[in-house]
Amino acid sequence: MNIPDLPPATLRLRIDTAALADNWRALDKLSGNARAGAAVKADGYGLGIDHVMPALLGAGARQFFVAHWSEVPGVLAHTDGGSIAVLHGVGNAQEAAFAQATGVLPIINSLYQAQVWLEAGGGPCHLMVDTGINRLGVEPCKLGDPAIRQLQVDTLLSHLASADEDTEQNRAQLHAFREASQQVQPKALSLANSAGIALGADYHFDLTRPGLALYGGIPRETLCDAVQQVAYVEAAVLQVRELGAGDKVGYNAVFAAARPMRAATVSLGYADGILRSWGAEGAMQHDGRRLPIIGRVSMDMIILDCTDTDLSEGDFCNLSYTLPQASRISGLSQYELLTLLGNRFERVS
C-alpha cells in the first residue's frame, strides 16, 4: 500500500546546530595550538548524525571519531574515510578489509589488533596506548613489540579516566603518555577529551577530541561560559483531566491528589530515554510555568500537575535539558541524558 505522509509528531528534539557549531569553535580555541576533532559516536551523541555532521563541518572540524564500524556509513555520507577514526579498532579480517576499502583509519588497541591489521596488508592507522584507564589500548610495556613497530601510526592516542576531577591520576596519565610517545614515531599526539581540554595546554598536544561539551555538556565548571545548550526536548499534551482529592495517578498509585487539581498526560516516557528517575523532582514547562511530574513515568507517557494553567490538548511542553541541571534532577550522567534519547523524536534543526 502507499503510505501517506505521517501526521506531525507529538515528540520533538530540537537541535540548535548554531550552538553546536559555536561549541566546536570555542573548544577549538581553548585547545590552543592543537586542532580540535569531534567525537560523533552513538549517532552524534544521540542527536542524529545527519544533523550534527553538517554543523561540525561548517564550523571547521575535520577529524571525526566513532566507536563501531556500523557507525561509519553515516559519517561517510558527509566526509571522506581519511577523516574518520574507529575507536574499537579492527578485531577481524572483515573489519580490516572494510577499513582499507573505505580509507577509514582504525585505532589499534592491542597486539592482536596490530597483527590483524598487518596480515590484512596494513597501511596508515592510529594507535591507542593505555595510560591508566585499563579499558582499551596497548600497554606501554608492549610498545616495543615487533607488531607495533611495523605499524604506520598517524596519531598516538590515550584516554583520560578522570579529567572531570582534580586528581593525581590526570598528572600520572600525562606523564605516562609523554613516556609512551618516546617509544613510537607518530605524526601527531592526542590525549584530551572535552574535560581534558579544560585541564590546560599540557594536555592538548596536537589533536583534542571533544565529545560531550560539543553537545551542551559541562564536564568541568571552567567550561560553563564556553558551552551552550544544544538539545531541547518537547512533548505534546495528549489529555487533560480534572482530579478530585484522593484520586490516584499512574502505576502503583504512588501519587494521590491532596486536593482538586488538573493533570495533563504528555507523549513522553522511558522508551524515549526519560527514565523513572526523573519522577521525584522532575518537571516540564509551558509558557514559563513549571509543571511538576506526578506519579511514575510510564513507557510512553508522563503525567503533569497543570493546576491553575490553561494547558490544553495539543499544546507542547518543554523538558529542561540543560545537561548539568538535568543530571542533578534525574541522577543520570550528562552522557546518558544525551545517548538515551530514543528514535521516536522528530529531530529538528
- Which residues, 6 or more positions from 17, have their beta carbon under 8 angstroms from its beta carbon? 51, 52, 54, 55, 230, 349
Does the active-site annotation cover 41?
yes
Does the active-site annotation cover 112?
no
Q: What cell does 212 get?
A: 560531550
Single out the residue of 235, 211, 208, 170 nearest to residue 334, CA to CA.
Answer: 211
* SS3 at position 223: helix
Q: Pairing relation of β-strands 302-305 and 261-266?
A: antiparallel
Contact criterion met (CB below 8 Å) for 188 and 154: yes
Q: Looking at 112, 251, 270, 335, which residue is catalytic?
A: 251
d(CA 286, CA 241) in angstroms, rounded, equals 17
Residue with cell 581540554: 197
Q: What cell does 252 get?
A: 502503583
Q: Looking at 41, 45, 270, 335, which residue is catalytic?
A: 41
Going through the chain in order, the beta strands assigned E by DSSP cover 11-15, 35-36, 38-39, 64-66, 84-86, 105-108, 124-128, 152-157, 188-190, 207-208, 231-243, 248-249, 255-256, 261-266, 283-286, 289-294, 302-305, 316-319, 346-348
Any idea which residues carry the catalytic annotation? Answer: 41, 251
